Structure 1
Amino acid sequence: MELYQTIVELIDMRSFSNLWFWIMLCVQWWMVSHRILGVPFDMVLRARRKGGQAQEDLETLARVNVNRLLYITHMSGLWIVGFVAFVLTVLGVAGFGYRIEFAQAVFCLMFPLTAVWGLSLWAAHRIADGEHRGEALQARLIKLRLAVQAIGMVSILITSIYGMYQNMTISVLN
């Protein structure tokens, strides 16, 4: 019985009071802000400092990832948008309409990623339209990273405030 109790506590559905949720939130935003359009940010910094082969590597990797993102978007973009809208609607209704905390937590994780996806798609179009070489590519990737980090900071702030509110409300009710 003790093993079962440990597992239930480890996978607690009260997400905002669970340490794993907060670890997941931090890891998510670290990963999203480290790889901008699939390009590790240290490659951007290395290309900016050294140029030459590092810049060529950056341009090649950015070109491959931009072309891949644009191909996927052009081939099935409407299906992806429809599916993501459906999932977010289900999570929003289940979480905030029916007060299911797990759905609220997943919504808080996924909703800001849609803004990041939109910004990434916009930047991919800009890169494909001409900002795909040299300092223009570096500047576009740096601006995109700053925007992603700003979205991440606001998302973490709002999620933590809402999570504290949820935890205080539940503790008062019990």
Structure 2
Amino acid sequence: MTRPGERKVLVDFYARVSEVIDLRSFSNLWFWIALAVMWSTASHWVIGVPWDLVQRARRRGGAAGEDVNQLSRIYAGRLRHIGTSAGLWIVAIGAFLLTTLGLLGFRYGIEFAQALFCLGFPMMLVGGLSLRTAFRIEDLSGRELYRALAAHRRQVQGLGVVSIFVTALWGMYQNLRIGVL
């Protein structure tokens, strides 16, 4: 048995939850926060090595330089192993998922799938860049390693700028088309 005001409270609760968890992603603040955090993290962790450690190693050397050499050797070796042992499966499954998201999003107009595609496609490219850099830095150390890590970071940041720009344009188009703004 429900009290007279109880039904309105439940309706208000579900209305609030549906506002917070909105599948119209491009008009949702959480999507843009996730996009910013994703690219910030991708440009800070260069093949598993934090960028501030690379800068410290570049300036001072010593223990920081040894840490960068060891971390890059460990993470690059790990990426090379994953790439050679399961790379084909990862690419096949990733391509299947991105194709599915692309079809659902852009062919059938599901905005949530479009948003996931806008997050996933550039990160797959970052994965390919990371694997390429992991093979390139296999025998590097010191200044050459720092230069290779810096070049990789610039590539990831450039890809991030283009990705954020394209995602923002598509998001604005979606919002204006639907009439949210």
Q: CA deviation at 1:52?
A: 1.3
SS at structure 2 position matched to 1:150? helix
Matches of 1:16 and 1:61 in 2, distance apart?
37
Letter in 1 for 2:169: I
Matches within 5 A, 1:65-144: 65-128=75-138, 130=139, 132-144=140-152
Kindly, what percent of the aligned residue pairs are identical? 52
Alignment counterpart, residue 35 of structure 1, candidates 45, 50, 53: 45
Question: What is the match of residue 59 of structure 2?
Answer: 49
Q: How many angstroms does 1:136 deviate by?
A: 0.4
Aligned equivalent of 1:5:
15
CA drift of 1:3 comes to 1.4
- Which letter does structure 1 place at the counterpart of 2:164? I
Segments of 5+ residues of structure 1 without an aligned counterpart are: none
Equivalent residue pairs, number: 170
Instruction: Quote the residue 2:4 is aligned against.
Output: none
Query: How far has the Cα of 1:166 moved from its partner?
Result: 0.4
Residue 106 of structure 1 aligns with an amino acid whose one-letter code is: L
Q: For residues 18-62 of structure 1, what are the alpha-carbon distances to aligned partners after superposition, in whole Å with 9 as ceiling and x for unaligned?
A: 000000000000000000101000010000011111111100010
State the Cα distance separating 1:77 from its structure 2 match: 0.7
Measured in 2, the distance between the counterparts of 1:14 and 1:53 equals 48
Runs in 1 of length 4+ with deviation above 4 angstroms? none
| Structure 2 unmatched ranges of 5 or more | 1-10
CA distance in 2 between counterparts of 1:53 and 1:44 reads 11
Deviations 1:122-167 (A, max 9, x none): 1100011x3x200000000001001100000000000001100000
* Aligned amino acid, residue 158 of structure 1: V
CA deviations on 1:49-97 (whole Å, 9 max, x unpaired) are: 1111111110001000001111111111111000000000000000001
Aligned alpha-carbon RMSD (Å): 0.9
Which structure's CA Rg is the greater one? 2
Residue type at the aligned position of 1:88? L
| 1: CA distance, partners of 2:74 / 2:106 | 40
